[in-house]
Structure 1
Amino acid sequence: MPPIIEGRRTVESDRETVTVFLIGMRINNPVAIRSWLPVAGAMPKMLRHLERDPKSGLLSYHSWFGRTTVLVSYWRSAEDLTRFASDPDAPHAPAWRSFNRAVAATRHVGVWHETYTASATNSESIYVNMPSFGLAAALGGTEVGPGSQTWKQRMTRGH
């Protein structure tokens, strides 16, 4: 388990933008293990591949597993994310082909994703007694101090 960082922390970054990528799957038929298990197993392979390559653009991620899974990831840019997704030598391409060929028509499992490019300087985050998490894990956390005590201060500090 990552250590808890005591106190109030926020994110202050010189980065103008960050790309936030949300992806997940939903198990529509829990007994159809042959349909959803390969989909569930594809993401850890992709994450290991990305972690081994610091140039990939992946900054940080967190995931939750249940009937509907969620993975929140932070990227340097949308271009980095697109480059990974379209790289024929990366693990995404074969997983996507396999899903489309064998799984998509069964309706036993669904997949979803959303991509946002957000202003990193015009954002607000607060972490109290948390391990390194979210945007702070991606861009670095810092103690709340003068100029970042309130939501309004944190939200408008990039102006």
Structure 2
Amino acid sequence: MTAQVEPGRFTAASDRTDITVFLIGMRANHWWRVGSVMRTASRMAPMLKHLMQHPDAGLLGFHQWLGRTTVLLSYWESPEHLQRFASDRDAPHLAAWREFVRRSQGSGDVGVWHETYQVPFADLEVVYNDMPPFGLAAATTRVPVGAGSRTARQRLGR
């Protein structure tokens, strides 16, 4: 299902002082090794389902793109929330990571990667033109661009 496009210009607003941005993905290095690729790729859906069912885990929102290299862009309450989820024995990440290390790491079949950014909210600049709810504005609060937020410089608070 495609989200409804909302005409106009929007930005994100929040009462938080900072936001944790987490990018994670995988790359099918040997795409013809379908078993390894699918085994690794299939582990993300249970993690996202778990996080959506447990809002206290700290995931605020996410978007995912699939292809030979997949990308999941996610927003978290804090790095501590993210790290707590990653190491939680009752959550689906730790077992999946251990399985990947045991079965796939070093084979070259599948690459995995992640990047974590802790960003002061005042140092962010976002704008969405004629878009459905997306990105940081979908994970926090989406507000129309207006007085004091019409330019990138204003949105950065400078």
One-letter amino acid of the structure 1 residue matched with residue 19 of structure 2: V
Query: Tell me, which stretches of 5 or more residues in structure 1 are unaligned?
Result: none
- Map 1:38-57 to 2 at 5 A: 38-57=39-58
One-letter amino acid of the structure 2 residue matched with residue 60 of structure 1: G
1:36 counterpart = 2:43: no
- Map 1:15-94 to 2 at 5 A: 15-94=16-95
**What is the CA–CA distance in structure 2 between the aligned matches of 1:100 and 1:122, rounded to whole Å?**
36
Deviation of the 1:14 alpha carbon = 1.6
- Aligned residue pair count: 157
Aligned to 1:151: 152
Query: Tell me, which stretches of 5 or more residues in structure 2 are unaligned?
Result: none
**What is the CA–CA distance in structure 2 between the aligned matches of 1:110 and 1:97, rounded to whole Å?**
15
Deviation of the 1:34 alpha carbon = 1.2
Deviation of the 1:67 alpha carbon = 0.5
Q: Percent identity?
A: 51
One-letter amino acid of the structure 1 residue matched with residue 41 of structure 2: A
Cα RMSD (Å): 0.9
**What is the CA–CA distance in structure 2 between the aligned matches of 1:132 and 1:53, rounded to whole Å?**
22
SS at match of 1:81: helix
TM-score, normalised with respect to structure 1: 0.96
TM-score, normalised with respect to structure 2: 0.97
